Amino acid sequence: MADIAGTTGTANVFDYAPAPESRSVVDIAPSYGLFIDGEFTEAADGKVFKTVSPSTEEVLSEIAQAGEADVDRAVKAARKAFTAWSALPGAERGKYLFRIARIIQERSRELAVLETLDNGKPIKETRDADLPLVAAHFFYYAGWADKLDHAGYGPNPRPLGVAGQVIPWNFPLLMLAWKIAPALATGNTVVLKPAETTPLSALFFADICRQAGLPKGVVNILPGYGDTGAALVAHPDVNKVAFTGSTAVGKQIARTIAGTDKKVTLELGGKGANIVFDDAPIDQAVEGIVTGIFFNQGQVCCAGSRLLVQESVEEEVLDALKRRLTTLRLGDPLDKNTDIGAINSAEQLARITALTERGEAEGAERWSAPCALPSSGYWFAPTLFTKVTQAHSIARDEIFGPVLSVLTFRTPEEAVAKANNTQYGLSAGIWTEKGSRILAVANKLRAGVVWSNTFNKFDPTSPFGGYKESGFGREGGRHGLEAYLDV
């Protein structure tokens, strides 16, 4: 595996030269307040926290930390704004969403650099995947705003009221778009809590709301820790809760809202199976395997973290996969050549490290791509485990890092049984040249999304969500409207 300075071994004319994106395109202020009722404001108790860049451990900014009083203030602002916002004709609400989408496009380079600095993922991912999808979600739901009568939920479906939304750190701006765009299109107002390790893009989005002329109080942004999210979920005047994050926190939220009339969607953990049959195009499958688990350093809820390979091609697939992993480039996330960026936080790195050590202790064989890890920041080399059984913790637990567990199967029935042998049910992938096999296997997989001969492809028109401990409800597509409507 090559580090970012060049390939290992003898230099040649095909070595990569550093190609860093400029930090100067984004202006990060020394401090940021909470965004409540259209204005940035200090926390009621004056508390602040720091957000750091995972690749360098550099402090990027100081952020106001919302407490219970701030949550109450934001919910009241959203409730006040709801009356006028929900009364607007859908076409008028759509204009605001179209305007937000266009501003996101205009500021996409700035936002991509900001997201890479605050999250640690490579610039080519934020630039080429995250930001185009963020804009696409706002464009898509802007188009729905005046067509809700035709969405299949009966005549004149009504908004719920105030939506309390809690998003994770792995796709900060994209998860914001998944939540806010349908909420606004359907006439709801929003109080959103970004993750404590990645608050900056949400605060920049608050500025975009002001730039778009969005009425005050329609969107409120409250950075903070878990207690901020808990206060938002429990607030009696919140009508709808949307959460993306860990299964453990999702269960806490379900307990909190039990017995209330709050509507809820939970998009939780995953342990996706990527199934490679013996007739699969191997090179194409290897690219899909890499995308499935090493995109965003494996910090993806629907990652294909369990590779199920038909026994007869196991050796061929593993040889090709290891060769491919040695070509991935780990290093500075702002370098346009980088494939593998930094792990989001020291806490997440410690979890990945502990789970991989447990995998070795349980008898699985570990192989990590050879590469030099930077001296500062949070880094983990792309890793795969062979000789894995379904009893191994690395085959059961969500690692949420660049770690792949490899299992084998002999028949399609065994592949389905192993793929479904998990408490999760978020995603799966199938690699074969036979369309009939794709359809037959996909219909038996208990997963919210099944990709065929590809992986990790998203579109705002397509619903996303899981079964079992991967949560319930759907986001995206026409299905994503229902969660924000009284139907």
Which residue bears the tokens 């199920």? 308
- Sheet with strand 449-452: strands edge to edge: 365-368, 383-386, 403-409, 306-310, 273-276, 427-431, 449-452
The whole-angstrom separation of Cα 425 and Cα 418 is 12
Q: Hey, is 247 helix, strand or coil?
A: helix
Q: Kindly list the catalytic residues.
A: 267, 301
The whole-angstrom separation of Cα 422 and Cα 237 is 36
The whole-angstrom separation of Cα 112 and Cα 51 is 17
Structural contact between residues 337 and 382, judged by C-beta atoms closer than 8 angstroms: no
Q: Hey, is 186 helix, strand or coil?
A: coil
What is the token pair recorded at 400?
């949420």
What is the token pair recorded at 301?
């809820």
- Classify strands 485-486 and 158-159 as parallel, antiparallel or unpaired: antiparallel
CA within 13 Å, CB half, 411: 3
The DSSP letter of residue 331 is: S
With 0-12 CB in 10 A as exposed, 13-18 as middle and 19+ as buried, what is 13? exposed
Which residue bears the tokens 């009221």? 161
The whole-angstrom separation of Cα 227 and Cα 68 is 8
> CA quadruple 86, 91, 95, 100: dihedral positive or negative?
positive
Cα distances (Å, whole numbers) of residue 132 to 66, 102, 474: 30, 11, 21
Show the beta-strand stretches assigned E in 120-272.
Answer: 158-159, 162-166, 189-193, 219-221, 240-244, 263-267
